[in-house]
Structure 1
């Protein structure tokens, strides 16, 4: 296998129209048994080891995507609502409390102020964020709050997501990390975020990484597993591509750029490489794997650029919560302000919007 070719996908040309899927599309397809998952855990590590990514081509493609025009007026509002449905509303603070998690869950269920949704006739469309993302110790609190709001788990729009083993270091013993996942699943987590070992790729051809992720895949059971690559520590685009492929071969339902706590998080060039890996894997196996950029995505305009990138690189099927997520804690507030501006003609002060 030679250099990755970087021709644009045939899936679309920007976000010049309103989303063609309904806002609530993207119901979970839970083919959950490990037997079915095994069908896709095939690949050739030796072939992947020979891949080389053309850095200049990646950067040129990323620059082209960033230069595209974003939608305006009512089209922008439609796409911002699409972005809301793809947010993993996150709190990963060391001082998180049950009340903080409860507030986050209520914001996930009602992410945009009700009066604003009524003005644009979206109040009855069930607009929610994709999930609530918390540390394992707070999973039970999140599940309790969602159930108290008559939002039973698992649900297609709002789920409980757990970040395993003390991101971002992933240096605790493997059995400890596996036990954290078991406990999170027991407490009701329907999605698990894991972090790959920092020893890869410096001391590993990919086999140890594959074996480690497979163990996480087994203890996750029916829970969806997102594998965090920590792209800022992989060094090269080639390593990002290889790590993406190995993670998908090992059974990841999503591949994620970073924890959001590293010095380098989600960037457009890295996203191009990971999206091409997802496309290559789909063409080889027929299985669709999701993508989650995390860290540094704070503004509504940035969210539109990310949606544009996914639409052009992977197609409209990936513009749904079960295949695309934003890992963000502050993004929702700016999206709500932009929607408020579209409705009222002015920007709301942050104190006028419910806290996330």
Structure 2
């Protein structure tokens, strides 16, 4: 594997060191997002390989998820280290109809300084920089976000392609991608038309994602499946595989606007498709659960899932992200409780 994967104190056993290892260096916004990992070039659509992924045992996936969350209990300093890892793997997001440039600037300010100074000092972070991997915004606010985080190493992600429904003409969707890249976004979160999955129109879906990847250029492509709308884990598995064949750098669960968003069984199906693709091609694909991940405890469940199913490399922001807005507030509260034994009110950890 082409990148270094740091341990960063992530252990479910006894605490060996309360210090936190620094994160890998991340590039500044407005420069090509290489992430230190060879990009997935995609492959020809292989319907035979796709057919081999059709059989998904929901009951077995649910049993596996239940055992993962019950067998792993992360406490004390180890829990604090894992929660810092959650922050480092976060796409801090604002996708509201009432977003403004000022709201986005405040969100970026929080991304640059995600922890209150007293909490950072209490954890003994010293010169270690803990920040979300990216801020995620609508296209009109890309330039504002790029300017706000310039030089910090925080990426700027733009949701695109008629988010959240994905039903605009393809030419319009591609123009939106190109506009966001031109404004400085180095990650693009696109959404697929779910109807192509229901109709098993795999070639059309593949061709659309290939075109989106081309429009992204050097920006990394995250493909949102809208898993809450796809109805079955089989559809989730097959859509994930087509997206990776078409060159996706990340596969992402949800827009956050569906009635059901990221769930652990859906996540397990998707990470197993990632593992199958890696075994078939040798390329590492990232994973991003989004929607409904709002508590520190839930973030730990997702980190355990990634560690157990895909291994240590997928605990780095190059390969794993949370799509989250309120998660950072709860993590900050939990870290303050770790230090003081008391929970504080949410308003003491303002977001934007």
Alignment-derived partner of residue 310 in structure 1: 306
Q: Could you tell me the TM-score, scaled by structure 1's length? A: 0.89
Q: List runs of 5+ in structure 2 lacking aligned partners.
A: 1-9
Alpha-carbon offset, residue 15 of structure 1 = 3.4
Answer with 125-134 or 234-243: which moved more: 234-243
Answer with 110-119 or 325-334: which moved more: 110-119
Alpha-carbon offset, residue 43 of structure 1 = 4.9
Answer with 44-53 or 219-228: which moved more: 44-53
Kept in 1: contact 2:58–2:233 (CA 8 A): yes
Runs of 4+ residues deviating >4 angstroms: 17-21, 26-32, 36-39
What is the CA–CA distance in structure 1 between the aligned matches of 2:128 and 2:23, rounded to whole Å? 7
Alignment-derived partner of residue 232 in structure 2: 236
Alpha-carbon offset, residue 167 of structure 1 = 2.2
What is the CA–CA distance in structure 1 between the aligned matches of 2:124 and 2:190, rounded to whole Å? 39
Classify 1:58/1:171 alpha carbon distance in 2 versus 1 (closer, same or farther; 3 Å).
same
1:48 paired to 2:45 = no
Kept in 1: contact 2:275–2:310 (CA 8 A): yes
Q: Map 1:1-356 onto structure 2 (within 5 A).
A: 15-16=12-13, 22-25=21-24, 27=26, 30=33, 39-50=41-52, 51-147=54-150, 150-151=151-152, 155=153, 158-356=154-352
Alpha-carbon offset, residue 172 of structure 1 = 1.0
Classify 1:273/1:79 alpha carbon distance in 2 versus 1 (closer, same or farther; 3 Å).
same
Q: Could you tell me the TM-score, scaled by structure 2's length? A: 0.90
Classify 1:52/1:173 alpha carbon distance in 2 versus 1 (closer, same or farther; 3 Å).
same
Kept in 1: contact 2:45–2:203 (CA 8 A): no
Corresponding residue SS for 2:71: coil
Q: Matched residue pairs, number?
A: 334
What is the CA–CA distance in structure 2 between the aligned matches of 1:197 and 1:120, rounded to whole Å? 45
What is the CA–CA distance in structure 1 between the aligned matches of 2:323 and 2:337, rounded to whole Å? 24
Alpha-carbon offset, residue 26 of structure 1 = 6.8
Classify 1:329/1:200 alpha carbon distance in 2 versus 1 (closer, same or farther; 3 Å).
same
Answer with 228-237 or 307-316: which moved more: 228-237
Classify 1:41/1:307 alpha carbon distance in 2 versus 1 (closer, same or farther; 3 Å).
same
Cα RMSD after superposing both structures: 2.2
Kept in 2: contact 1:105–1:145 (CA 8 A): yes
Classify 1:142/1:119 alpha carbon distance in 2 versus 1 (closer, same or farther; 3 Å).
same
What is the CA–CA distance in structure 1 between the aligned matches of 2:14 and 2:247, rounded to whole Å? 34
Q: List runs of 5+ in structure 1 lacking aligned partners.
A: 1-12
What is the CA–CA distance in structure 2 between the aligned matches of 1:317 and 1:215, rounded to whole Å? 29
Corresponding residue SS for 2:92: strand
Kept in 2: contact 1:299–1:335 (CA 8 A): yes
Kept in 1: contact 2:162–2:191 (CA 8 A): no
Alpha-carbon offset, residue 41 of structure 1 = 2.1
Alpha-carbon offset, residue 14 of structure 1 = 7.8
Alpha-carbon offset, residue 18 of structure 1 = 6.2
Alignment-derived partner of residue 10 in structure 1: none
